[in-house]
């Protein structure tokens, strides 16, 4: 592929998927600085540029998988820096709490935090990112069957948590708590 067509392919990929990748990174970054969000998005598209020939016909799951790994690398680096700073101060690091999209009800936030990280990721890829289970499986790097099992368990665990929380709160229906993708990207 010549340089001009390569550049055109990348520009098209960027234009079509930048908003989705940035939204994905924002929802998983919590209250981190916007600069780290932009760094993660930039790193994701840098990998895409370098591996443009490896991207298949459906690039969004591939891009989200790259973004997921970039965020994991950022978190590991942050944890190493915190651990080093704490060792230098002689203290232990505070427990990190996962930050989810603003505007979630307390019940839904608690329900999502009660899930394992893998279950939470499976549920969010389908519910917030709008990926089909097959595409979400590609983003997480597991088989479609394994992803479907993970998603089923996540839904069952979340429903159980919300049902228990609803009974304690007076019986409100948990489905009313689930935000739309638009509500979480504002």
**In 10 A of CB 9, how many CB atoms?**
15
C-beta of residue 65 within 8 angstroms of C-beta of residue 139: yes
Average pLDDT over residues 28-49: 86
Of 29-43, 59-73, 136-150, the poorest mean pLDDT is in 29-43
Whether 74 and 113 map to the same domain: the answer is: no
- CA 97/CA 108 separation, integer angstroms: 15
- CA 136/CA 6 separation, integer angstroms: 26
Percent of the chain with pLDDT over 90: 51
Whether 19 and 79 map to the same domain: the answer is: yes
pLDDT at 71 over 90: yes
Whether 53 and 137 map to the same domain: the answer is: no
How far does CA 41 lie from the centroid of its chain?
12
Domain boundary among 65, 99, 133: 99
- Both tokens of 126, joined, read 């389908």
pTM as predicted: 0.59
Q: Residue 76's domain spans which residues?
A: 1-99
Average pLDDT, the chain: 83
Tokens 């899930």 correspond to 115
- Write the CATH number for 135: 1.10.10.10
Average pLDDT over residues 125-141: 93
- CA 52/CA 8 separation, integer angstroms: 11
Question: What total of structural domains would you count in the chain?
Answer: 2
Whether 85 and 110 map to the same domain: the answer is: no
- Write the CATH number for 10: 1.10.1740.10
pLDDT at 27 over 80: yes
């Amino acid at each position: 592929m010549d340089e001009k067509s390569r550049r055109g392919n990348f520009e098209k990929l960027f234009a079509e998927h930048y908003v989705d990748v940035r939204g994905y990174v924002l929802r998983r970054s919590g209250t981190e600085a916007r600069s780290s969000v932009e760094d993660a998005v930039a790193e994701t598209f840098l990998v895409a540029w370098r591996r443009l020939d490896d991207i298949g016909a459906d690039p969004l799951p591939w891009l989200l998988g790259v973004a997921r790994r970039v965020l994991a690398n950022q978190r590991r680096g942050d944890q190493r820096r915190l651990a080093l700073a704490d060792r230098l101060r002689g203290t232990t690091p505070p427990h990190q709490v996962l930050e989810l999209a603003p505007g979630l009800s307390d019940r839904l936030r608690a329900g999502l935090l009660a899930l394992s990280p893998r279950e939470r990721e499976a549920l969010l890829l389908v519910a917030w990112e709008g990926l089909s289970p097959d595409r979400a499986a590609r983003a997480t790097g597991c088989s479609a069957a394994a992803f479907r099992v993970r998603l089923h368990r996540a839904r069952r665990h979340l429903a159980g948590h919300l049902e228990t929380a609803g009974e304690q709160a007076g019986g409100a229906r948990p489905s009313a708590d689930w935000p739309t993708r638009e509500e979480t990207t504002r």
